[in-house]
Amino acid sequence: MSEALSREFFDRPVLRVAPDLLGRLLVRRYRGRRLAGRIVEVEAYGGLQDAASHARCGPTPRNRVMFGPPGRSYVYQIYGLHCCLNLVCEPQGQAAAVLIRALEPVEGEDVMAALRPGRSRREWTSGPGRLCRALALDRRHDGLELPSPGLWLETGEPLPRKRQARSPRIGVAYAGEAARWLHRFYERGNPFVSRP
DNA sequence: GTCAAGATTAGT
DNA sequence: CTAATCTTGACG
């Protein structure tokens, strides 16, 4: 097992952390099993300046972990149905987080399949809501300090710049100018990326 | 207290 | 394209 990423890794500008997460391993301990996926797609979110961010209007009960210390998980529910996983960045007081949008399954695929009945391998971890379902993550995992016993990141093999691509973020058309920022990062050509 | 909208997904 | 499903947070 490679080294675990912790607070200092995330204590940097979110636009540096986000692309640096590509190729890393997200690992989950679930019922004695190790579930792991290679991160292939992420999005960076900021604070008051970012009209697409949950933190755009300042701290609230839901987003407060985004304003806290780096290296924690921020998990929220969306559309009353799905949960999404973020990793908090930047020093305490500055709201910033990286949304994990897609993984390439690496370990524990049988468990992921059981958690995603009726779906194909590609659909287990492609999309922010799907990956949480495949790793059995929900709002109980909000605010965890990473590494935590049930969830952590491992160094893995960082993705070379040449294989990285950028685009505007998905699903934030309401955010005006911020909707056009190139804050989405993904591995070029990887079939587990949720959208080309 | 009210209510519109959502960092999505699955199904027609 | 649209329904599902319910929490959040802005507003008054």
Cα A5 from Cα A17, distance rounded (Å): 11
Query: Using an 8 Å Cβ cutoff, are A114 and A69 in contact?
Result: no
Rounded average pLDDT over A94-107? 98
Is residue A84's beta carbon less than 7 angstroms from any atom in nucleic acid strand B? yes
Nearest-CA residue to the C1' of B10? A119
Nearest-CA residue to the C1' of C7? A80
Chain C positions under 7 Å from a protein CB?
Answer: 4-10
Is residue A61's beta carbon less than 7 angstroms from any atom in nucleic acid strand B? no
The chain-wide mean pLDDT, for chain A, equals 97
Report the distance from CA of residue A79 to the C1' of nucleotide C2 in Å, as an integer: 14
pLDDT in tens, A119-149: 999 999 999 999 999 999 999 999 999 999 9
**Residue A50 pLDDT more than 70?**
yes
Is residue A129's beta carbon less than 7 angstroms from any atom in nucleic acid strand C? no
**Confidence tier at A1 by pLDDT (50, 70, 90):** low
So what's the pLDDT on residue A118? 86
SS3 sequence of chain A: CCCEECHHHHCCCHHHHHHHCCCCEEEEEECCEEEEEEEEEEEEECCCCCCCCCCCCCCCCCCHHHHCCCCEEEEEEECCCEEEEEEECCCCCCCCEEEEEEEEEEECHHHHHHHCCCCCHHHHCECHHHHHHHCCCCHHHCCCECCECCEEEECCCCCCHHHEEEECCCCCHHHHHHHHCCCEEEECCCCCCCCC
| Nucleotide showing the shortest C1' distance to residue A80 CA | C6
Rounded average pLDDT over A39-58? 98
Is residue A106's beta carbon less than 7 angstroms from any atom in nucleic acid strand B? no
